[in-house]
Structure 1
Amino acid sequence: MEPVVVIAGPTASGKTSLSVELAKRINGSIVSADSMQIYKYMDIGTAKPTEQEMSGIRHYMMDEVEPDENYSVARYKERALECISAVIKDGRRPIVTGGTGLYLNSLIYNINFSETICDESLRESLKTEAEQHGSRHLYEKLLEIDPEAASRIHENDTKRIIRAIEVYTHTRKTISEHIRTSRIEPPPYKYIVFGLKWDREILYRRINERVDKMIREGLVDETRRLVEMGFDRGTAMQAIGYKEILPFLKGECSLDEAVETLKRNTRRYAKRQMTWFRRIREIIWLDMGEDTDLQDTAEKIIHHCIERFGIIL
């Protein structure tokens, strides 16, 4: 079974830089597991790596679709597996890198989405309920039918709440039950999962600094261009980094207020990411700090694979 290294971590944790360092050492290519970097034209707000940051390493699963397209985890898994296969056929080592837990789980646990349901009318009805009564109203519905899923989903994550209710409405089985039964078939690859762990205060400072850098690099103009292109209502524009700038563009708040909201929301998102990663039983944690040498960390990953799994990358 071919090995696939996975590098998971919260936003601003250095995943891309470490992945590139590792790829240089093992003749690797990177497959992104980021639910927003798949969208075109959204570069600054998603922290998409620049050509310079890629350092000549091939990156897959970026700039795949238009910002107004819905992109499901089922679609991600299918395309990611195609990319992993292409990397291996090219004689390279695939490195899956990202912070979207659902995308990572779809690969690590081989979750089968072949029987997914799509009921647009129900979705629209539930969206209207959320708009009229608030997301908490839908969250309480989910608590009644699937408390297990509710414990994993934030009460403001309307999209995933609606999805869980939709699955139960059509199958009378909770989405948690579907996920459990869909994991029966083992994955086609040996996923070796590494997680990046930072001191919380240092990580939060890095997040604040990254947001300031995004503003300097033109996040406001990037958001404005997306609006002018007609992408102000799509799923992608609900991403952290864009939804906070939109009120400023509409004159509903100052830029300073928008930036502070963006920093707060990003910190909260990082906390949720870490909660998700801790549920990955197989994860191998790597302690990170401001003085961490990424070249040394890449070597640690290589040596760990040899010592623990007998796998030479």
Structure 2
Amino acid sequence: MSNQMPVINLMGPTASGKTALACELYDRGNFEIISVDSALVYQDMDIGSAKPSKEEQALYPHHLIDIITPLEVYSAAQFVDDSTKLIDQIHAKGKTPILVGGTMLYFKALLEGLADNLPNADEKVRQHIEHEAEQNGWEWVYEELKRVDPLAGERFKVSDRQRIIRALEVYRLTGRPITQLQSEQPKQTAYRYNFHNYALLPDRLELHGRIEQRLKKMWEIGFLNEVESLIEKYNLNENLPSARSVGYRQALDFLKNSDRSHKSKLEMEDKSLFATRQLAKRQYTWLRSLQEAHTFKTYLTIKQAQEDLRNLHG
């Protein structure tokens, strides 16, 4: 349709090279970059999130970076609101937005819409659920979820704490299971945009090597010092969504709960590497799911993407 404005979606697992590719496109065309990353929204969480440096951001401005503190919560619904406003502003300037990142839930929400029959988050209800978890353990809370919403119980694991909290919160606010409400909700597609979806999906072994190199660099440039500063400045703790970001969770556990020995540090680094590889695996799964429902161009290497997108102009 002629009235649909173009939006470039550039997706890929962590360390796949998508940000570098977005910056290259920015240099060549009439583009603006919007970050699609649930960790980059947090101020002062720079090294562990592989956030572009201040110098890089000066050259390649990214929207939706550093917009909240680590004490705040940012949802997929907020991302859709913020990104659509930005997309419209960028189009109004005669430019094309490039959305780049690895938070596939955000991309899915933008492409397919979100259920608007679900209640907003209620801090009191959430605190009550977390208090129950402290008193009785997460296994008890998980069993409670399975009792009131068996389908959600099948879909979630006991470690999916945020999802368990949200599902129980919705049940306690509405008296109905979240899975039932979601099944009744028609998709709200962003009809006014013409999405061009690109995915960087490098070979897993190559990606694992890149992840390992990135983590080594993180330790070298002071990631643990960054987490210590976050603990001091914000009283960062494991109950905050920001602290559950890969790398931060393992570093926080090491600094707060270990003897800080060399052996413990090596164990923490191994856990971070494993968790980051697991994140990449989940991102691949999300991407394959999105590819079943939407048209995509997929690239195995950055070079392949660079050559194919050479003539892409904003």
- TM score, norm. by length of structure 2: 0.85
Cα deviation, 1:188-207, whole Å, max 9, x if unaligned, reads 31222222212222222211
- Matches of 1:288 and 1:267 in 2, distance apart? 18
Letter aligned with residue 44 of structure 1: I
Question: Among residues 228, 235, 239, which one is paired with 2:241 in the alignment?
Answer: 235
Letter aligned with residue 203 of structure 2: D
Give the CA deviation at 1:231. 3.6
Letter aligned with residue 279 of structure 1: S
Residue pair 2:15, 2:210 contacting (<8 A) in 1 also: yes
Question: Residues 83 and 242 from structure 1, CA distance in 2 versus in 1: closer, same or farther, beyond 3 angstroms?
Answer: same
1:279 is aligned to 289
CA RMSD of superposed structures (Å): 2.7
Give the CA deviation at 1:126. 2.1
Runs of 5+ unmatched residues, structure 1: 306-311
Letter aligned with residue 101 of structure 2: G
Runs of 5+ unmatched residues, structure 2: none
Of the structure 1 ranges 173-182 and 155-164, higher mean CA displacement relative to structure 2 is found in 173-182
Q: In the alignment, is residue 208 of structure 1 matched against residue 212 of structure 2?
A: yes
Question: Residues 200 and 133 from structure 1, CA distance in 2 versus in 1: closer, same or farther, beyond 3 angstroms?
Answer: farther
1:3 is aligned to 6
Residue pair 2:119, 2:173 contacting (<8 A) in 1 also: no
Q: In the alignment, is residue 195 of structure 1 matched against residue 207 of structure 2?
A: no
SS at match of 1:245: helix
Residue pair 1:8, 1:194 contacting (<8 A) in 2 also: yes
Of the structure 1 ranges 30-39 and 50-59, higher mean CA displacement relative to structure 2 is found in 50-59
Q: In the alignment, is residue 225 of structure 1 matched against residue 229 of structure 2?
A: yes
SS at match of 2:289: coil
Q: In the alignment, is residue 111 of structure 1 matched against residue 114 of structure 2?
A: yes
Residue pair 1:74, 1:113 contacting (<8 A) in 2 also: no
2:26 is aligned to 23
TM alignment of 1:143-182, pairs within 5 A: 143=146, 145-146=148-149, 149=152, 153-179=156-182, 181-182=184-185
Question: Among residues 242, 251, 274, which one is paired with 1:245 in the alignment?
Answer: 251
Residue pair 1:130, 1:158 contacting (<8 A) in 2 also: no
Question: Residues 161 and 34 from structure 1, CA distance in 2 versus in 1: closer, same or farther, beyond 3 angstroms?
Answer: same
1:265 is aligned to 275
Question: Among residues 84, 87, 99, which one is paired with 2:87 in the alignment?
Answer: 84
- Count of residues in Structure 1 that have an aligned counterpart in Structure 2: 302
Cα deviation, 1:27-67, whole Å, max 9, x if unaligned, reads 21111111110111111011101245458222100010111
Residue pair 1:231, 1:237 contacting (<8 A) in 2 also: no
- Matches of 2:118 and 2:232 in 1, distance apart? 37
Residue pair 1:32, 1:96 contacting (<8 A) in 2 also: yes
- Matches of 2:91 and 2:181 in 1, distance apart? 30
Cα deviation, 1:216-269, whole Å, max 9, x if unaligned, reads 111011111111212413431222221211233236042212111111111111
Question: Residues 128 and 81 from structure 1, CA distance in 2 versus in 1: closer, same or farther, beyond 3 angstroms?
Answer: same
Letter aligned with residue 8 of structure 2: V
Cα deviation, 1:170-215, whole Å, max 9, x if unaligned, reads 3344434544555543303122222221222222221121111111
1:308 is aligned to none
Residue pair 1:197, 1:285 contacting (<8 A) in 2 also: no
Question: Residues 56 and 155 from structure 1, CA distance in 2 versus in 1: closer, same or farther, beyond 3 angstroms?
Answer: same
Give the CA deviation at 1:24. 2.5
Residue pair 1:241, 1:262 contacting (<8 A) in 2 also: yes
- Matches of 1:48 and 1:131 in 2, distance apart? 33
- Matches of 1:153 and 1:15 in 2, distance apart? 29
Question: Residues 151 and 277 from structure 1, CA distance in 2 versus in 1: closer, same or farther, beyond 3 angstroms?
Answer: farther
